[in-house]
């Protein structure tokens, strides 16, 4: 048995729809490989690929919630709308990840929770690299600016953060 997967069409609204017209968010339920929910964009690669290589994004959360589908749509719009996210980039959310959380940015990282099999996804005509969108605090983003992406990830490892905990303490 695997994980159940639901493809959710998300309408970005009339002014943004054209940026990612075929956007779907794959909602992956907990199962044998993970006890968390995963939300994966589907639609970025087709718009942004070069020579068969492009990106999609995954977010891991503690529950199934429409909020995470909306955040994945926001990431897709940000990426395809001219900001071209990549490994070690970040994106401000503009509000807490979930109400009461101090995490208000997303850090683009390797999909550590899911393993290397998820990172490289073969597609007809190329492959998608799936990168993790990790909710982080403004202080952590500032630390990364001063000390680098690897130094921040080292802090995460040392603190043994639970990345799906929206109320985790900032490491910086």
Distance CA 95, CA 100 (A): 10
Task: Provide the pLDDT for residue 32.
Answer: 74
Alpha helices in 10-163 (DSSP H): 44-48, 66-78, 116-119, 138-147, 149-159
Cβ contacts of 157 within 8 Å, gap of 6 or more? none
Distance CA 73, CA 20 (A): 9
Task: Provide the pLDDT for residue 161.
Answer: 94
Task: Provide the pLDDT for residue 171.
Answer: 96
Task: Provide the pLDDT for residue 128.
Answer: 87
Cα torsion 134, 88, 4, 46: sign:
positive
Task: Give the predicted TM-score (pTM) of the model.
Answer: 0.89
pLDDT per residue as tens, the chain (172 positions)? 577 888 898 777 777 778 888 889 999 998 877 788 999 999 888 888 888 888 999 999 999 999 999 999 999 999 999 889 999 999 999 999 999 999 999 999 988 777 677 777 777 888 888 999 999 999 999 999 999 999 999 999 999 999 999 999 999 9
Q: What are the distances in angstroms from CA 134 to CA 33, 56, 59, 87, 131?
A: 19, 14, 7, 11, 9
Residue 88 has φ and ψ, to the nearest 5°, of 75, 5
């Amino acid at each position: 048995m695997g994980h159940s997967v639901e493809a959710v069409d998300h309408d970005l609204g009339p002014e943004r729809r054209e940026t990612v017209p075929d956007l779907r968010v794959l909602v992956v339920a907990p199962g044998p490989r993970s006890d968390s929910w995963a939300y994966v964009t589907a639609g970025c690669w087709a718009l942004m690929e070069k020579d068969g290589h492009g990106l999609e994004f995954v977010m891991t959360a503690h529950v199934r919630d429409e909020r995470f589908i909306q955040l994945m749509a926001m990431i897709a719009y940000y990426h395809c709308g001219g900001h071209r996210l990549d490994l070690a980039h970040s994106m401000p959310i503009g509000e807490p990840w979930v109400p009461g959380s101090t995490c208000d940015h997303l850090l683009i990282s390797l999909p550590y929770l899911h393993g290397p099999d998820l990172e490289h996804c073969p597609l007809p005509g190329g492959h998608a690299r799936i990168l993790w969108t990790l909710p982080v605090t403004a202080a952590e983003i500032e630390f990364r600016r001063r000390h680098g992406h690897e130094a921040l990830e080292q802090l995460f490892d040392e603190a043994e953060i639970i990345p799906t905990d929206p109320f985790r303490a900032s490491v910086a």
